Chain A
Amino acid sequence: MAIEIEKPAVGLSKVAVSDTHGEYSPYFAGWKAYDENPYDELWNSSGVIQMGLAENQVSFDLLEQYLEKHSEATNWGNRTSGFRDNALFQDYHGLQSFRKAMASFMEQIRGGRAKFNPDRIVITAGATAANELLTFILADPGDALLIPTPYYPGFDRDLRWRTGVKIVPVHCDSSNNFEITPQALDAAYNEAESHNIKVKGVLITNPSNPLGATIKRSTLEEILEFVTRKNIHLVSDEIYSGSTFSGEEFVSVAEVLEARDYKESDRVHIVYSLSKDLGLPGFRVGTIYSYNDKVVTTARRMSSFTLISSQTQQLLASMLSDRTFTENYIKTNRERLKKRHQMIIDGLKNSGIECLKGNAGLFCWMNLSPLLEEPTKESELTLWKSMLHEVKLNISPGSSCHCSDPGWFRVCFANMSEQTLQVALTRIHNFMDRRKAMKSSPDFSSY
């Protein structure tokens, strides 16, 4: 009998087989549980409520109204040359009209306190692509970016996977409301140096995900001073800049630069997208705004790997240059988010749960550390599993955001109706009541 020798299967690359995509982390495991048993008001009222997805559904009606009134925006304005040119347009510079409209929209969000030049805008298919692209440009494989914790879990994948770049966390904790300090920045930088890792830049998210709070002007200035001193880059991911609850509290790094006449600005790059503020993640619209000419040129060329459909650019160019629409949208969206935020904060307070004081974003940063058996990551994950399987809420554990203080959770409130949010709050309330009851019962053993 012949012995079958198995020929080795044709191999794949390290990138293909690595698990840097992070799909085994709790952040994504919760999504799987939701997918298997999703809540529905009518059909599955005991299903898992998704509170782990930072999506903005509170202002869809405004978009729908606009599109109904302006159908010519969706069909190339009835000019025969309109469609033709658009269908052929694959220039990585992006449509001029679209870039102008984006620049104007970004200015409006910042209350006119910063100016944006359309020629510095590079288009990408989403902020995910923008962040990865900047990483390719600013750092070589083996180099590192400093990122303040807690941070968006997706960064582990988006910034590291194909680029080969490392992330060195800048530890922030609850003792000062998770604010970024120069000491923490220095500590992280020195930590990298001690391992012979070259730090190429700092990446901040402002307003912060998952904290749901804007960064103070003085902190921004300290960060700028730090990156200047170390001669490294600063990437400011301002994807939630339009989702602040009031117009005044958000300070963009662009404003700080403008105030100092753009000195040292060629180390600063801003990432923006319409996925959160405008609630259009499916459209895949992201931008890089850089004050550095070389970065703009390089990013533009690299954007050929991640262009936005010319049809979408055209549509958004019309929509975003309509000031009546954008001013009303920005104002109304803010009010609605503020109201939602208030609702969840009050509801949690009634259940005896505190959150970090927040003023932006589609989520709040909830403190469940008093509920932990021990102040450890394992305890936090045990609690997270209870929330998922017992309370049927998918929330994001702080450990998946690399938070050094255990017991914090990110809870999204804008991706559902008010009724659903109320159901979620009721479930939490009941959960907390049960816990109080169990604790006071003499038979209380391990939770």
Chain B
Amino acid sequence: MTRNSDSETKPRKPTRTGMRLIVPLQGIVQGRGGLILGSLIPCALVYFLQLYLKRHRSSNTLSPSTSAENLPELPRSSSRANLLTRGSIGRVPVSSRASSIAKPNDCPYYIGLDRVREDPYDEINNPNGIIQLGLSENRLSLDLIEEWLSKNLSASMLGEGGDDLNICGIAAYQPSDGLMELKVAMAGFMTEIMGRTISFNPSSVVLISGATPALEILSFCLADQGNAFLVPTPYYPGFDRDMRWRTGVELIPVHCRSCDDFTLSIKALDQAFNQARKRGQKVRGVLISNPSNPVGNLLSIDMLYDLLDFARERNIHIISDEIFAGSMYGNEEFVSMAQILNSEDSDRDRVHIIYGLSKDFSLPGFRVGVIYSFNENVLAASRKLTRFASISAPTQRLVVSMLSDTKFTREYMKTNRERIKKMHDLFVEGLRELGIESAKSSAGLYCWVDMSRLISPYNEKGELELWDKLSNIAKINVTPGSACHCIEPGWFRCCFATLNEKQIPLVIERILTRNNLICPHQNGMNWSLTCCSKIIA
């Protein structure tokens, strides 16, 4: 489509219907009327057609995997403010990979984070700002770490005496996959977190600057461009970037439903695998999060065995993102994939675990992530790739000290769990008083909330309208289920661990007092929710 000066100032999104019209028109006009008419007429027609469509846009139901294109006037994220107008003639082009990444955020997960950045709630300085419930961060137990630091810091990082603690020790080149001492400390910490039912081996630990690059590295190691991973939904919106952006790998959603409490079904996995094969798409593995993000449920030991059987039969990998393993509040026991493998098991080669300190240990800024694998080849390849994402040496030193203090880590995990449980219970109860229920869950820094009765129409558009109003009117940022590829509309992930106790009633109050503005349809309608369908009485 040739550009005219007007289109530069409009929001840049050619409609699909617009594009489909050009081709047949050009075909007609090129035959006669010459080059000029052949270009001008279709362009003019398309321009006016676009104008018409914009004014009379009808609501379509979108499949859960598309983004919020229909939302009216989403404010542009600030990162776009100083962008040059894209690619005018003579401008030096960037790669097609970069072009797709540079587009403005179109996923509500990221848009929500941008909005909070622009108008963050602060008790004193900005009491009407947006309260952040869209980021699964843990702010409940930082005081415990502060206390430890005030007692231990100077000895722990840059050191007093001792050859390996002074600047020379940490300034020089280190092994890119992490200091051995940190691998040892991390293996010990993971052993503790997962209930001491399995002992993690430091030689199988690869240290990386965060779980985000850890996941990407595994994606690069296990799959080629164009291959795919099966991912049960709903899933963490970040997977779409982390697993796909630079690797060229695809994610195939495998839908889980509320009637099953959103637990994984091997049958569904199997179906998805077969459908992919029919399409000619090679599936290289399954990606699960356990504890699950965003639902917060756990995979039972039977399910883990079933999953392993499935992977064996298909000869594929399993990536188990266990980053919330220490953030348990329920009564169930967490079972890691590592636990069901014994030392002679040849299936060990297909299992890879992601871990990190961003959630359980509240240190996302420090960038500490782990790949734990039983496959020597994967370990060898991952280690070499860590050169692009190593953990800063002074931070490694600090974390070694922290994690090696097992008395501290045990107390921390115990207290942290209690606080998470308290916040979770308060939050879920508060929502319940509004008639809003949450899914059954035992772990995580969030709950999976059913607001399907409050949306109208009962589809993604209705869900996104509610999300937008919660953000702009109630001033709370939550993550809509469509951003997590949930097949049932109306579910939202609400992170409660960024709040303090005082703020929970505030959140509930905001939803309640602005209820009429948010849900004008609710009065006079009798909603009854059954599994996967809706009946309007």
Contacts and interface: CB of A to CB of B under 8 A. Distances in A.
Interface of A: 7-17, 21, 23, 53, 55, 57, 60, 63-64, 67, 71, 74-75, 80, 83-84, 86-90, 125-126, 128-129, 132, 136-141, 143, 158, 162, 164, 200, 231-233, 266-267, 279-285, 292-295, 297-298, 300-302, 304-312, 315
B101 A306 contact: no
A282 B224 contact: no
Interface of B: 79-80, 82-84, 86, 90-98, 101-102, 137, 139, 142, 145-146, 149, 153-154, 157-158, 166-168, 170-174, 209-210, 212-213, 216, 220-225, 227, 241-242, 245-246, 284, 315-317, 349-350, 358, 362-367, 375, 377-378, 381, 384-385, 387-395, 398
A249 B92 CA distance: 30
Given A14-B224, A158-B388, 19 more contacts: A16-B222, A17-B377, A17-B381, A63-B167, A71-B154, A74-B157, A87-B362, A125-B367, A125-B388, A137-B97, A138-B94, A282-B173, A284-B392, A284-B393, A292-B92, A297-B80, A305-B213, A305-B216, A308-B367
Nearest to B220: A15
12 contacts: A11-B315, A13-B221, A16-B377, A74-B153, A75-B153, A126-B388, A162-B388, A282-B394, A292-B84, A294-B83, A294-B98, A310-B366
Given A10-B350, A306-B209, A283 B95 contact: no
B261 to A, nearest CB: 30
B95 A282 contact: no
A210 to B, nearest CB: 18
B322 to A, nearest CB: 19
Given A63-B171, A87-B366, A140-B97, A266 B92 contact: yes
Contacts of B246: 136, 162, 302, 305
Given A282-B172, A283-B392, A87 B220 contact: no
Contacts of B358: 90
A302 B101 contact: yes
Contacts of A15: 220-221, 224, 381
Among B210, B220, B388, chain A packs the most CB atoms within 10 A around the CB of B388
Contacts of B391: 284, 309
Contacts of A307: 209-210, 367
Nearest to B394: A312
A293 B84 contact: yes
Contacts of B284: 11, 13
Nearest to B389: A306
A141 B97 CA distance: 10
A178 B30 CA distance: 55
Among A10, A89, A139, chain B packs the most CB atoms within 10 A around the CB of A10
A13 B366 contact: no
A129 B392 contact: no
Contacts of A300: 79
Contacts of A281: 171-173
Give 10 nearest A-B pairs by CB, closest first: A310-B365, A282-B393, A16-B381, A309-B392, A309-B395, A312-B392, A16-B221, A267-B92, A137-B98, A90-B364
A12 B377 contact: yes
Contact of B96 (A60, A87, A88, A140): A140
A99 to B, nearest CB: 15
A278 B391 CA distance: 18
A74 B158 contact: yes
A279 B172 CA distance: 7
Among A15, A83, A310, A312, chain B packs the most CB atoms within 10 A around the CB of A15
Contacts of B149: 75, 83
Contact of A266 (B79, B84, B223): B84
A308 B388 CA distance: 11
Contacts of A295: 94, 98
Given A7-B315, A128-B388, A309 B365 contact: yes
Contact of B220 (A16, A23, A67): A16
A106 B350 CA distance: 46
B529 to A, nearest CB: 37
Given A71-B154, A90-B364, A302-B245, A10 B212 contact: no
Contacts of A302: 101, 245-246
Contacts of B98: 136-138, 294-295, 298
A283 B394 contact: yes
Nearest to B391: A309
A445 B84 CA distance: 68
A285 B209 CA distance: 12
A312 B396 CA distance: 11
A354 B173 CA distance: 30
Nearest to B362: A87
Nearest to B174: A282
Contacts of B167: 60, 63-64, 67
A128 B137 CA distance: 29
Contacts of A71: 154
B92 A282 contact: no
A75 B154 contact: yes
Contact of B385 (A162, A200, A294): A162
Contacts of B364: 87-90
B388 A233 contact: no
A295 B91 CA distance: 12
Contact of B365 (A231, A298, A301, A311): A311
B315 A309 contact: no
A310 B358 CA distance: 12
Contacts of A162: 220, 246, 385, 388
Among A12, A71, A281, A310, chain B packs the most CB atoms within 10 A around the CB of A12
Contacts of A232: 92
B102 A298 contact: yes
A315 B362 CA distance: 20
B367 A309 contact: yes
Contacts of B387: 126, 128-129, 158
B210 to A, nearest CB: 6
Nearest to A66: B167
Contacts of B210: 90, 304-305, 307
Nearest to A22: B384
Nearest to B393: A282
Among B90, B284, B395, chain A packs the most CB atoms within 10 A around the CB of B395
Contact of A53 (B94, B142, B173, B381): B173
Contact of B363 (A12, A75, A87, A267): A87
B221 A12 contact: yes
Given A83-B146, A267-B92, A312-B394, A90 B367 contact: yes
Given A8-B315, A281-B173, A21 B384 contact: yes
B209 to A, nearest CB: 5
A315 B170 CA distance: 14
Nearest to A73: B158
B406 to A, nearest CB: 21
A13 B224 contact: yes
A301 to B, nearest CB: 6
A233 B101 contact: no
A71 B83 CA distance: 40
Among B92, B139, B223, B388, chain A packs the most CB atoms within 10 A around the CB of B92
A143 B94 CA distance: 11
A129 B366 contact: no
A21 B387 CA distance: 11
A356 B98 CA distance: 40
Contact of B209 (A21, A164, A284): A284
A14 B377 CA distance: 12
Contacts of B384: 21, 23
Contacts of A13: 220-224, 227, 284
B160 to A, nearest CB: 10
Nearest to A76: B149
Contacts of A297: 79-80, 83, 102
A98 to B, nearest CB: 12
A105 to B, nearest CB: 17
